[in-house]
A and B are shown apart, each in its own frame.
Chain A
């Protein structure tokens, strides 16, 4: 069975402080990992995917297969980063359904 665990429901940081949102997964095989974000009153949208190895809005995430983790990081939090963040995974076969974690609310304090 595939599972995504986000241990923190809420993470509060001060503006300018580093951010790390934790994500661990369980999957038999090599999954594709994602981070989705939902800003207030907006629809859920993709933030980044591990295969792209890109930085979006200053966020990065490294896939650690040994620890089965895909933590989301940003060196300096900004107020506009306040949102719900969901870690997610799918298989790599194309057109796979996605399994989501329960989400972490990031609150950036001015």
Chain B
């Protein structure tokens, strides 16, 4: 068990609805990463936090997406006005390894937009 948890594990929603996902990272790490994985693709970087500060956002993160990490612990990822193209697995990760470039992933939240 890597210690990263995500909730919910599955979410089915109708197009146009808002959804929010939660990630609880490994507690001693001040960095937290979000990735998205669509069918047939590897994980793609979305954004990352250093404590509560969001330091980088991918161009994949449209203005319908917002991520927060209010107290530098858990993080939330919200998608507003969902579209079918948002259907994907959303992964959260904590860093590790000798140079902290290794990613310890959570189980992911699978989003299906109908």
Enumerate chain B interface residues (CB-CB to A < 8 A): 2, 31, 33, 40-45, 48, 56, 91, 95, 97-108
Contact = CB atoms under 8 A, between A and B. Distances in A.
Contacts of A90: 101
Contacts, number: 65
B102 to A, nearest CB: 5
A49 B100 CA distance: 12
B108 A43 contact: yes
A99 B101 CA distance: 11
A97 B33 contact: yes
Given A34-B101, A46-B104, 19 more contacts: A43-B105, A44-B43, A44-B105, A45-B2, A45-B104, A46-B103, A51-B99, A91-B101, A92-B99, A93-B99, A94-B101, A96-B101, A97-B45, A97-B48, A97-B56, A98-B101, A100-B43, A100-B44, A102-B41
Interface residues of A, number: 28
B9 to A, nearest CB: 11
Contact of B42 (A51, A94, A100): A100
Interface of A: 4, 9, 32, 34, 36, 43-46, 49, 51-52, 86, 88, 90-103
A103 B45 CA distance: 15
A49 B97 contact: yes
A95 B40 CA distance: 27
Contacts of B56: 97
Contacts of A86: 42-43
